[in-house]
Chains A and B, each alone.
Chain A
């Protein structure tokens, strides 16, 4: 397999004002800071199939109004790629987020989390309420609070006798046909018409890590039980906004609905939106984020 590419980054609409890295247990995680307004928004990583450029359509807008901090999740971008599955436990990503808040001198922040980042935002808000002003969950991947899509039931670990459709969600297939998996998955993430650019971006970011690393991120993530997840959501005390595409083929809208209910948050369903509305409906999502941040008002200052 010759998928190693020298990542030549695209031009950015806005470049960071500051960047650095934190290190935990020998794993370095790179962060960036844009703008200097109030409050700080921490745009969390998602699954390490992508990295912080996933927020490229948010950063320039939000940084005009707020201080914006991002970081590359371990396993992709300019962060390290540890070689053991335990390093990709959800608790590690949450701990990275806290370390980035510390390193950037951020006392409290509004969290914005996409997909798995939505789960980490909830866990961080529940565990460290004094650091979190509010949480925006975009198509959150919070397992078991609602049933998964029926097509997402194939065993990840076993050799299957088919490569069709979601049977590609399989470690053996990833190791065999990583590029084909990325193309398939990106196609499912973006069901919206005319998404070729977003699909190409996602595949490109996916190629900055490896199938082997991605398998570790999958094995390292411990699915919480429904009761555990509901308990965590119930402990969230900050305001919550859930934005969820109603055509999300990766994580059904029902998850977003349940997350909003269990946190007492507000739900905005994006009509026709897939799993990454921040990329495909950026203006809508940006205005939702801004309105939410503004609504925190006195709480923030």
Chain B
């Protein structure tokens, strides 16, 4: 598909105008599930922007792509369950192993021998797995607001059951599958208001809610259950297998995943921790310039290692 066709396809789907359109796009298929990728620019090295939880799709990198693609080759893909990728049924299709395998398949399909991985939130699970299993393909990892169980969650998020019907809809009680099926938009608005706690985030919240409406609540429940399969013990073991340089970027007001989780991940991987003052869970959307410069600086620091 040409860039012009892609632009028209995007328009047909009601997508917003983009600051930059992909130079190439396609899909890979694994066990009947199609996953849609895009490639921007052709610099060196390749920066691989991984999907996160499928509540959103690859447009959550919209503030990174135009900048990074001026310097590097950038590859993204829509995580299964959202965007232009398929929506398989059942929790098993959404384990971190499936996302890691999709990522590897996209590397192959785009003829990307090696890449610097950038992951957000849950994306930490598959970036870690991919780098641990295929060290020859990964030059470094940037973790943004990593959702890793290396430190306790926020206490208010540990009160309510996800599975059981609750007698309240207040606050984090909305993180509940019955509530999702009852008032999906209400959940999304609450969830993204907690993701984007910075003042004047209405645009970013609106973007996220719209992307989340591209996945059905039933499918989102599958993705949530798929992620719950991820064990802490095995994740710690994966961290210890990492050999590449690591940068962790975490907001100190992240209301979804405590800053302590990012700090613990930096400690576990021997990586560098950058704390963003006043930032919430999605600094790539709300502090894009800062985050972009950090990614670029990290990629440049890999220097000879990359080429």
Contacts and interface: CB of A to CB of B under 8 A. Distances in A.
A193 interface: yes
Nearest to A198: B200
B203 A194 contact: yes
Interface residues of A, number: 5
Contacts of A200: 199-200
A194 B199 CA distance: 11
A93 to B, nearest CB: 32
Interface string A199-231: 010000000000000000000000000000000
A83 interface: no
A193 B16 CA distance: 15
Contacts, number: 14
Nearest to B205: A194
B2 interface: no
Contacts of A193: 202-203, 206
Contacts of A197: 199-200
A8 to B, nearest CB: 16
Interface string B70-90: 000000000000000000000
B263 to A, nearest CB: 29
A196 interface: yes
A193 B204 CA distance: 12
A139 B41 CA distance: 42
Contacts of B206: 193-194
B280 to A, nearest CB: 15
Contacts of B199: 196-197, 200
Contacts of A194: 200, 202-203, 206
A280 to B, nearest CB: 12
B190 to A, nearest CB: 18
A197 B200 CA distance: 6
A19 B206 CA distance: 42
A200 B200 CA distance: 9
Contacts of B200: 194, 196-197, 200
A55 to B, nearest CB: 20
Interface string B131-165: 00000000000000000000000000000000000
Interface string B162-205: 00000000000000000000000000000000000001101100
Interface in A158-215: 193-194, 196-197, 200
Nearest to B204: A194
A13 to B, nearest CB: 14
Nearest to B201: A196
A5 B203 CA distance: 29
B289 to A, nearest CB: 14
A197 B199 CA distance: 8
9 contacts: A193-B202, A193-B203, A194-B203, A194-B206, A196-B199, A196-B200, A197-B199, A197-B200, A200-B199
Q: 9 tightest CB-CB pairs across the interface, nearest first?
A: A194-B203, A197-B200, A196-B200, A194-B202, A196-B202, A196-B199, A193-B202, A193-B203, A197-B199
